[in-house]
Amino acid sequence: MGRKNRGTTKGRVSRIGSYAIAEPNSISCTTFNILAPIYKRLNLEDQSCRESDYRANWLSRNHRILDWLLYERSSIMCLQEFWVGNEELVGIYDKRLGDAGYINFKLARTNNRGDGLLTAVHKDYFRVIAHRELLFNDFGDRVAQLLHVELIAPYAQCRNNNVRQEMLIVNTHLLFPHDSSLSLERLRQVYKILQYVESYQKENKLNPLPIILCGDWNGSKRGHVYKFLRSQGFVSSYDTAHQYTDADAHKWVSHRNHRGNICGVDFIWLLNPNSYRKLLKTSWGNVIFGMFKYQLRRASLTENDAFAFLKADSDGDYITYAGFCEALRQLNLIGHCYGLSAEEIKDLWLQADIDGNGVLDYSEFQQQRVWNPTWSEQRDGISDEASDDDVVSDTEETIGFSVKNAVLFPTEVEKGTWPEDYSLSDHAKLTVVFSPVRMLCCQLSR
C-alpha cells in the first residue's frame, strides 16, 4: 500500500476511531479476516508458493495490520484466519495488543492446519465474565468463541444501578461454500452457534441481553445463512447504519476470494434484548423449507407443478412421506454425506404435517410451511411476540445498542469495487460504532 493511499484511508479510519475513543457513550467493534500466511498465495502460477515460507513478508504485513488495528483502537476486535500455529506471530499480537490494553483469547481450528480465531476486548471498556470455546468437530473443522462481558465505562444512559450492562460477543469463521451441497453444513454451523448461545444463557439464568455476532460468514445477503440469522432477530449492523435493504446487496463488498470473485461476506450482527425470536428449532425448519422452495423455483416449477412433483406416484391427492423424501433426494438435500439426517427429515415432516394424519394435502403444502415458509422475507425477522414456551413474568431495564456508524476499509469496497493496490488481506475490515441505550427486556421464566 503506497503512502498516498495509506494517508487517505487513514483519515477515514480516524473518523471511526474518534467515535470509539473520544465519545464516552460509544463502543466500537471490528471484524477482520486477516488472511493466514499459510493461505496467502504469492504466485498465481505456482499455487504452492505461500507467504508462510517468507518470514519477512508475513511479518511486515501483520505489523501493518496491527498498525491499522491499534490506530483505530476498537473496543472489540474479532479476527479470523489468525495464524495460531506460529509462535512468533502469536507472540507479536499478544505483546502489541496486550501493551495497548487488550485482553486476548485465541482458538485454533480442530484440523491442526494452523489458523483460527483471535478475539480481543479492551480492559477500559469491558470486564470479562466468561470465555467459552465451541468446537464443531465436523466437516470443515470450524470453531467459534463466546465472550460474556460486562461494560464498565460510565455510560450516561445506563448509570442507574438497576440497569444490567452485560453482553455476549461471538467470533466465528464459517465453511467456504465450495459447492452447493455444503450449504446445509454452513447452516448447521450457524445453528450450533445459536444453540450454544441459547444453552449458555439458560445455564447461567440470563435474561435477554445484547448479542453481537462477528466474523467471516462465507455467505452473502442473498444466502440462506443471512436469512436464517434475520429470522432469529439479528440485523446486519453495516446495512442498518447505511439504511440498506436486500435490494442493495450490490452496493458493498468485503472479500475477493481465490477464484477472483468479489462478494460481501463479513458481517457484524446485532440482536437487542427487546427483540423476540421464534423458537430456534422452528426457524431452522423454516430455513430448510426455504432452501427446498428455492430449489423448486430454480427448476422453474409453479406452485401446482411443485405439488405434483412432491406427490410423485401417490394414488391420492396428497404427498406421502416417501414422496417427500424422494423429492429431497432429487433436490440434493439428502443422499450425500452433508445432507439432512434422518432425524432432521423427520422433524421437517412433522412441522409440515400440521394435522398429523401422515400425509400432506394441498392446503398444508400451499398455506403452511412447504411452499410458503412462515419466516419473513421482507422484514428483519424480528417477531412481535415471545416464543411459545416463554412466559413473561415482569420486566427490567437492560442495556441495548443502536448502530451509530459503520465503515468498511478500504473505502472502495463501500462502492462495490475491489482496489488492486490493497494488500493487507483478501478481506475488508469492518468496524461498527454502537451507542448503548436503555431498553426494557422481558424477564423470562424458565
Beta bridge partners of 286: none
**How would CATH label the architecture of 284-368?**
Orthogonal Bundle (1.10)
Average pLDDT over residues 224-244: 92
Give the three cell numbers for residue 284: 431452522
Cell numbers at 228, concatenated:
436464517
Say what the pLDDT of residue 112 is.
Answer: 83
135, containing H or E segment: strand 126-135
What does the alpha-carbon distance between residue 319 and residue 199 come to, in Å, rounded to a whole number? 36
Q: Nearest to residue 409, comparing CAs of 2, 4, 11?
A: 11
Rounded Cα distance between 182 and 178, Å, is: 7
Confidence (pLDDT) at 134? 93
At 278-306, the pLDDT tens digits run 778 777 788 888 777 878 887 778 888 88
Specify the higher pLDDT residue, 375 or 68: 68
Phi, then psi, of 188 in degrees rounded to 5: -60, -40
Alpha-carbon torsion, ordered 70, 267, 173, 247, to 10 deg: -150
For the entire predicted model, the pTM comes to 0.84
CATH architecture of 27-281+396-440: 4-Layer Sandwich (3.60)
pLDDT per residue as tens digits for the range 290-346: 777 878 887 778 888 888 888 877 778 889 999 889 888 888 888 777 788 888 889
Which pLDDT tens digit goes with each residue over 129-151? 999 999 987 666 889 999 999 99
Examine the pLDDT at 110 and tell me if it is beyond 70: yes
Domain boundaries, the chain: 27-281+396-440, 284-368
Q: Are 174 and 218 in contact (CB under 8 A)?
A: yes
DSSP string, 217-266: -S--TTSHHHHHHHHTT-EEHHHHHHT--GGGGGG---EE-TTS-EE--E
Between β-strands 27-33 and 76-82, what pairing exists: parallel, antiparallel or unpaired? parallel
